[in-house]
Amino acid sequence: MFSLKNKVAIITGGGSGIGKAICNVFAQQGATVCVVDFDEAAGKSTESEIQADGGLATFFKCDVSNQQQVATVIKNIITLHQQINILVNNAGVAHVGNVENTAEADMDRLYAINIKGVYNCLQATIPYMKTTSGVILNLASVASSVGITDRFAYSMTKAAVVGMTLSVAKDYINQNIRCNSISPGRVHTPFVDGFIARAYPGKEVEMFEKLSKTQPIGRMGEPVEIAHLALYLCSDEAAFVTGCDYPIDGGFIKLNT
């Protein structure tokens, strides 16, 4: 079950965190993985790890906010592999702040990557999926469903991701393209560790525990746990699933509200 053999999968933001975990799990299940990331060192590290484990992976450097770069990378992937079966729009950035202390530059940066980046990848990839079939998975957030303190711009972008998910699912269902999204709660990634270190120097252990307990289950998620849900939604076993957003949050939405 959940085999991705003979599938070509593009994962944006595949150099670290959730994206890296998705790359590794998909490769383990037989996919040919296209690791797309702006960070060349991180992306190549994911590529090397997969290849060292006997998997198939190629790194492509790309700024997803740049439409021309995205179009070029997608064309290069088609030239190399002749097909695209799976697109995971994972690349994204975060911001802490309410509407008053969110600068215009912050809004523009989050829009460019979290919204326009998803749009760019969708627009460049869907024409190739229409000729066969395909699966698209977008990474949203619990912030798209419930109010979270000091996440004004981030919440806005992730709500847009859910909206794009529903629109694409509706528009392309007759072309055998499925589109879903995942809304993780707090996941233990290098970003979280960096944020805690910058914002709470000297109190890292205390704040990690506090943030962990905001999930009713009592801990943060692990990137591989998000990757396992991504695997299901991108596999043939989920062929009857489209147009849905899946919280994976340790009970955060339903048990905190």
Provide the residue ranges of all domains of the chain, joining segments of one domain with +.
8-185+223-251, 188-220
Task: Give the bridge partners for 10, in sequence order.
Answer: 34, 87
Which pLDDT does position 57 carry in this prediction?
Answer: 98
**How far is 212 from 187, CA to CA, in rounded Å?**
9
CA angle 87, 241, 8 (to 5 degrees): 25
104 confidence band (pLDDT: 50, 70, 90): very high
The mean per-residue pLDDT over the stretch 39-60 comes to 98
Active site residue 200: no
* pLDDT mean over 244-256: 93
CB atoms closer than 10 angstroms to residue 211:
17
The pair of structure tokens assigned to 190 is 């290098």
Half-sphere exposure of residue 120: CA atoms within 13 angstroms, side-chain side: 23
Nearest CA to 83 out of 12, 29, 28, 135 is that of: 135
Tokens of 243: 């147009």
Cα dihedral sign for 79, 132, 65, 36? negative
pLDDT at 99 over 80: yes
Region 157-164 average pLDDT: 98
Does the domain at 8-185+223-251 match CATH 3.30.9.10? Answer given as no
Query: How many angstroms separate the CA atoms of 144 and 147, rounded?
Result: 8
Q: What is the DSSP letter of 21?
A: H
3-class DSSP assignment, residue 138:
strand
Looking at residue 192, its pLDDT comes to: 87
- Of 111, 119, 154, 172, which one is the catalytic site residue? 154
Residue 124 amino acid letter: A
pLDDT digits (tens, 9 = 90+) for 179-228: 999 999 999 998 888 888 887 899 999 999 998 998 999 999 999 999 99
Q: How confident is the model at residue 65 (pLDDT cuts 50, 70, 90)?
A: very high
Mean pLDDT check: name the lowest of 2-6, 116-120, 186-190. Answer: 186-190
Using a 10 angstrom Cβ sphere, with 0-12 exposed, 13-18 middle and 19 or more buried, the burial of residue 94 is middle
